Amino acid sequence: MNTIEIRGLEVSACHGVLDFEKVKPQKFIFDAKLTVDFLSALKNDDISATVNYAEVCALIEKITKENKFNLIEKLALECAFSILENFGGVQKVVLTCFKPEAPLPQKFENVSVTVELERVKAYLSIGSSMGDRQANLYRAIKLLGETRGISIEKVSAFIETEPYGGVAKNKFLNGAVSVTTFLPPHALLDEIHRIEKACGRVRKKRWDDRTLDIDIIFYGDKTICDETLIIPHPDYMNRDFVKIPLKSIAPHKLT
């Protein structure tokens, strides 16, 4: 991978928590570093085979001028998100938003925030043991695909399995889904919880029957272990209801 860097892009706009910042434009400055594979562009000298940095600048300018956010954190995130949404050739973006005219009483050179987002492939396990199980899974897939920052790549066939964990009484319908996402891992988990709730899941007892269960099995090559999220999923190798559907869409993940 190679990089395209934009430095010092200046845009006049209205962002801030104070009332006057909503009406009086001030200067915002952007640096953006884009990870792009432009080898074919080098070979053929063809702009269509790379990312047009003029279009990236125009997009940042458009977002900055057409919105009024309280926080430059929100502004930077929106710009980074939109770059990945609109330029499929960008694998990763690191974007810094500077606010040199921030209303601070102290003498300072600049205030800035930096957002880093990366396009990765994630693998999810989905299951349901209550209600119309197939409809629950199809709805979950639909809601995943409609979530900003998530694109569905592959969906396995569904299999019926015995309950796992010794609490649930009903048989499960299980499947696997591969997605491309630039949501950070915990943000992806938040969206999964939102979708589970929208599909009627009520969390009462661990391992109990549920309308929908979605687990993140892999998130790129990342390893995560904290109080809310462990990736790769710690128990996936002991679960045939995960391995069988996953193997059908990503056999390389189980070798």
| Predicted confidence (pLDDT) per residue in 87-106, tens digit | 999 999 999 999 999 999 99
Q: Between residues 41 and 52, which one has the greater pLDDT? A: 52
Annotated catalytic residue within 99, 121, 142, 204:
99
The mean of the pLDDT values for the chain is: 93
Number of domains in the chain: 2
Report the predicted TM-score, pTM, of the whole model to 2 decimal places: 0.90
Residues 124 and 59 in one domain: no
What range defines the domain where residue 145 resides? 120-254
Per cent of the chain over pLDDT 90 is 82
pLDDT tens for 103-126 read 999 999 999 999 999 999 999 999
Residues 128 and 248 in one domain: yes
pLDDT tens for 183-242 read 999 999 999 999 999 998 888 777 688 899 999 999 999 999 999 999 999 888 888 899
User: 182 — phi, psi (to 5°)?
Assistant: -120, 20
Alpha-carbon distance of 176 to 155, in angstroms, equals 6
Among candidate residues 118, 137, 172, the one where a domain is terminated: 118
Per-residue pLDDT at 207: 67
Taking residues 27-48, report their average pLDDT. Answer: 86
Residues 103 and 139 in one domain: no
Alpha-carbon distance of 137 to 128, in angstroms, equals 7
* Contact call for residues 139 and 199 (beta carbons, < 8 A): yes
DSSP state of 14: -
* 107 tagged catalytic: no
Short-list 36, 48, 218, CA closest to 118 = 36
